[in-house]
Structure 1
Amino acid sequence: MDIHGTVGDLTVRHQAGPRALRRLPEGEQSRPYELFGIEPVTGLIGAEVSGVDLREPVGPALFAELDRALLEWKVLFFRDQHITAGQHLDFARRWGELEVNPFFPHEVPELGRIEASAQTPGGQNVWHADGTWREKPLLGAVLRAVEVPEAGGDTCFADMGAAYDGLPAEVKFRIHELSAFHDFAPSIGLGMEADKLAELRVKYPAVEHPVVRCHPRTGRRTLFVNPGFTTHITGMGARESEALLGFLFHQAAVPEFQVRFRWEADSIALWDNQATQHYAVNDYFPQHRLMERVAILDEHPRAGKWPAQEAGSARFP
């Protein structure tokens, strides 16, 4: 079955049927892990790690294997991790400098609390990559479940490298040199008092990032726009920008590109924010859900070159 649609002056075709999904960068092969068990949740994205106790320091050898698994699977899940706030921070810090998020309540500056209840329903139910409203977005994040509802409250993750691969060739060509603006105000800023919003807009103005990003570690091209924070494409008319972004946003919603994680208390998700988007399913109101999040700062996103321009290959460890 073919489904046709238009993007600006392009007519694109969505074809139902088999999808050729690629988990690793071109030319790379999966290798075994020696220091822990790993069980894939899907064939493309998401794996559950066993045999690791995050209360213990993560030494160089274990970190190297976890880092490789993160690049391979994009999101890693850990169960029954009864860690302290300090251990949570120490684990995330193995990947780099930690973020202090201005929008999350916290007692420890780098440890944000995300809470939903009958008084404050969850609001992260939109596809997004964390911190793309920053000049330097986030490399990744470590999210721990403190309290979870009896049912519901799952988080979905999407592989945005696979989402890029799945685009029609004519759309890839159209977008490979484009950039877009990202802004916290249309989503996080909703309901914020005008004075506070104005203050934060000065501190965190809208920023411009490439539409197609080159992953700094794997070299893989990923789709780097999201409905949570991307507002418009640079230099493009409003109608055409809206049509093109709407088409690109839809790629995260393709089930073949996704994994869905059911939380338990003391479960942890570690994800590569450079390669994924996520969506917190808000299907548990008015039950209570409390999460703690530590995030790692990134570098400036680099545009993903069109294949004919590429001089190097992936740098998979």
Structure 2
Amino acid sequence: MSLIITPISPALGARVEGIDLRQPLSRESHQALHQALLDHQVLFFRDQPLEPTQQARLAACFGDLHIHPIYPSVPEQPEVLILDTERNDLRDNALWHSDVSFLKTPALGAVLSAKQVPPYGGDTLWASSSAAYEALSEPLKRLLDGLTATHDLSKSFPESRFAVSEQDRLRFEEAKRRNPPSSHPVVRTHPVTGRRGLFVNEGFTTRINELSEAESDAILRLLFSHSAQPQFTVRWQWQQDDVAFWDNRITQHFAIDDYRPQRRVMHRATILGDAPF
């Protein structure tokens, strides 16, 4: 099986053809997909009607899978979470974020499958954290080197929205207990490619630990704005049964919330990674 890989943006992103993701990956296909992910940071596939078991099997080829502490999941496949606008408050996805960066070992990546999409709207943006870092001035790079930042689940999942009922409150408190805030380098080194990238995001990063509150707020505002510039991004217009596979270590993404009252349903399998350095 020969993959056809077509880049769709200078900074990141490629469309992949010539593979059926419903089938178990051969060694050659696994190696080719892994290399394409390293090269392009986010991969897109059309017409891949994955069942949850197939999606989990695909994602598990690249690492252990995460079970989300807040979102509901497919009952028979708990590693596949459900993002459904009729079931969930998804405002936390409508901002730039790196998935579950509050973990001690944040996600390596994720496989996202489009189950139901609106007739228009509902696109997702990805941004290359390495391209954003490389575009910084040398004095700012030197300032950021060695700094760490706190990432907190509660920033994107506030109690006011996710602990309304008694059942939800108990689940929310357990999620916070199991997932206390974590500190990670502001500039992360990719463990395979060695590329450096910004590892702060609007969704979960609360402050830069070594700076005063005012300094931290100012630098984070600068980095959030800088990272979202169009030249660092790619935009994907979803069709039903599309699949996206991205490297969460070196990207951020933003699910545009512009389609209501239309419904949008996505399934995500999240691959655990290692401690950032």
Q: Counterpart in 2 of 1:166?
A: 135
Tell me if structure 2 keeps the 8 A contact 1:161–1:275. Answer: yes
SS in 2 for 1:152: coil
Contact 2:108 2:273 in 1 (8 A): yes
Work out whether 1:301 is the aligned partner of 2:276.
Answer: yes
8 Å contact kept, 2:41–2:128: yes
Are 1:214 and 1:222, in contact at CA under 8 Å, matched by a contact in 2? Answer: yes
State the percentage of identical aligned residues: 41
Read off the aligned partner of 1:241 and give its amino acid letter. S
Q: How far apart are the structure 1 equivalents of 2:125 and 2:248?
A: 13
Deviation at 1:121, TM superposition (A): 5.6
Note the C-alpha offset of 1:82.
1.6
Could you tell me which runs of 5 or more consecutive residues in structure 2 were left unpaired when the two chains were aligned: 164-168
Post-superposition offset of 1:198: 3.6
- Greater than 6 Å deviation, 4+ residue runs: none
- 2:86 matches 1:94: no
* Bigger Rg over Cα: 1
Q: CA deviation at 1:251?
A: 2.1
Asked if 1:267 corresponds to 2:235, the answer is no
Is 2:215 aligned against 1:240?
yes
Q: Which has the higher contact order (CA 8 A, sep 6+)?
A: 2
Equivalent position SS for 2:155: coil
- The yes-or-no answer on 1:250 pairing with 2:225 is yes
Q: 1:202 deviation in Å?
A: 2.0
Asked if the contact 1:213–1:221 (Cα under 8 Å) also holds between the matched residues in 2, the reply is yes
Q: Cα deviation per residue 1:18-47 (whole Å; 9 max; x = unaligned)?
A: xxxxxxxxxxxxxxxx82111111122111
Give distance in 1, aligned partners of 2:30 and 2:133: 29
Instruction: Indicate the residue corresponding to 1:154 in structure 2.
Output: 123
Q: Which residue of the partner structure matches residue 60 of structure 1?
A: 27
1:142 positional shift: 0.1
Contact persistence 2:115–2:240 (CA under 8 A):
yes
| Alpha-carbon distance in 2 for matches of 1:213, 1:73 | 18
Check the 8 A contact 1:50/1:78 in 2, yes or no.
Answer: yes
1:136-155 pair list within 5 angstroms: 136-155=105-124
Tell me the C-alpha RMSD between the 2 structures: 1.4
> Residue in 1 aligned with 2:12?
45
Shift of 1:195: 5.2
| Alpha-carbon distance between aligned partners in 2 of 1:36 and 1:91, rounded to the nearest angstrom | 16
How far apart in 1 are the matches of 2:189 and 2:94?
Answer: 26
**Which whole-Å CA distance do the structure 1 matches of 2:158 and 2:65 have between them?**
23
Alpha-carbon distance change, 245 to 291 in structure 1, aligned in 2, over 3 angstroms = same
8 Å contact kept, 1:180–1:208: yes
Which structure 1 segments of 5+ residues have no match? 1-33, 303-317
User: Following the alignment from structure 1 to structure 2, what is the Cα–Cα distance between the partners of residues 48 and 172?
Assistant: 32
Q: 1:283 aligns with which of 255, 258, 271?
A: 258
More helix per residue: 2
Give the count of matched residue pairs.
268
User: What corresponds to 1:315 in structure 2?
Assistant: none
User: In the alignment, residue 251 of structure 2 is paired with which amino acid?
Assistant: T
CA gap 1:196/1:58 in 2 versus in 1, 3 angstroms = closer
Give the TM-score, by structure 1 length: 0.82
Please state how far the C-alpha of 1:133 moved relative to its aligned partner.
Answer: 0.5
Distance 1:145 1:164 in 2: 30
Residue of structure 2 in register with 1:8 after alignment:
none
Mapped to 1, the partners of 2:22 and 2:191 lie a distance apart of 30
The SS at the match of 1:109 is strand
Q: TM-score when scaled to structure 2?
A: 0.93
SS in 1 for 2:219: helix
Kept in 1: contact 2:14–2:40 (CA 8 A)? yes
1:104 aligns with 2:104: no
